[in-house]
Amino acid sequence: MTRALVVDDATHTNENLLDYLHDHYKNWDMVEIHQYEYALKKIQTESFDVLTLDAHIPSKDCQNLVDTLHDKQPEAKIYIAMNDSQLKTDYSRVINRGLILVPDAKAN
């Protein structure tokens, strides 16, 4: 079974994404987290096939979550929501890690 960790501090965003994922990937085990610290603990102690992450985690570096999962499970797929200004500054670092970027709905 595919395990997905959905990390976003905005509860409504997580709920919308989880609804979408449940509709399209009914056999996935979804774990929803709203706080950086809990997400980091989950990544360090559990296995995930997919990580969806909001790049706007307040006062935290989402790169640490990405690096931790990538180092522990390099085969995991990581999806990051970023706005245009973040893409300009973080694009090369993100692409070098082989990550998948998705449009940030909150920025539009």
Residue 17 near residue 6 (C-beta atoms within 8 A): yes
Q: Which CATH number fits the domain that encloses residue 40?
A: 3.40.50.2300
Q: For residue 108, what pLDDT band results from cuts at 50, 70 and 90?
A: very low
For the stretch 37-91, pLDDT in tens is: 898 899 999 999 988 887 666 556 677 888 888 888 888 888 776 555 555 555 5
Q: In whole angstroms, give the CA distance from residue 75 to residue 83.
A: 25
- Structurally, how many domains does the chain consist of? 1
Torsion from C-alpha of 99, 38, 9, 73, nearest 10 degrees: 10
Tell me the whole-structure pTM to 2 decimals. Answer: 0.70
Domain that residue 42 falls in: 3-107
